[in-house]
Amino acid sequence: MIVSQNEVYRLSQRVMEGLGAPFGVDRDGAFAVTWLEARGLGGLSALACALDRLDGDFQPFAQAKGTGAEVTILDAAGGSALAHAGALIDYAEMLEDGAETRKTGLRISRLSDPLFLLPMALRRARKHWAVTIAWRSGKDEIILRAAPIGGAMLATTARDLDAVLSDPLAHEVAIACRPDRGDDDPISFPTVRDSRALDFNLRASLANGLSVDQSLWQALTAIAARVLVPSSHISREHGAGGGDANR
């Protein structure tokens, strides 16, 4: 079936709300899902894989598990990056920017679905910051980069990009922020999706819509239905649930 980016965003936002996401986090999540889907990086499939990890699990991370001279470590305990992406990017930037802390990196252990950090890094990063996100999946290395000058990039040593995108495991993820000078070293991994490739997919999705699996869409719609109030005399009087929105 063919859907628009707006439909993907609205469904994703309702799914996040149905899973218990606070106001703002639901919209951040919908943005991340739509950003990935529109650029051919499987945002909806990643959301579907993360449902169990997200359901009601939007509490802040515990205090830092450990700190070193150059890095701060948090323990996500298997939680999904989709629930915390904005906060993690903000925290990584704060550590880099804080002259008093002298921290130059953030590591999160046992973080699931780290792909969702990429769109939020591009959205949240301040104009002069470049954000690099890295982790390992088995023998493969994955690097995400978001920068005002160079845009977004995904690179991996894996030749099967779909396997990387659908990896449900929790990883130790490193986030580093630094001033963006537009001189990032080129990455010679076998699989690279640079800003040109991602923008090409975006333009195609705007022109032709997004092709999504109907069973996947229906499964997510069932989660989104949690936010709806069952139709009743009272709900119709208050304009909720099954009432006529045009009344």
Looking at residue 23, the DSSP 8-state letter turns out to be T
Highest mean pLDDT among 26-35, 91-100, 158-167: 26-35
Instruction: Assess whether pLDDT exceeds 80 at residue 61.
Output: no
Measure the CA–CA gap between 48 and 178, rounded to whole angstroms. 33
pLDDT of the residue at 169: 81
Average pLDDT, the chain: 82
CA dihedral 23, 27, 29, 31 (to 10 degrees): -170
**Whole-Å CA distances, 5 to 41, 199, 223:** 14, 14, 19
Give 184-208 pLDDT, tens digit per residue.
666 788 899 999 999 999 999 999 9
Buried b (16+ CB within 10 A) or exposed e, 37-61: bbbbbbbbbbbbbbeebbeebbeeb
- Please report, for the chain, the start and end positions of each structural domain, with discontinuous segments joined by +: 2-237
Instruction: Assess whether pLDDT exceeds 60 at residue 149.
Output: yes
Pair 111, 81: CB distance under 8 Å? yes
Pair 104, 110: CB distance under 8 Å? no
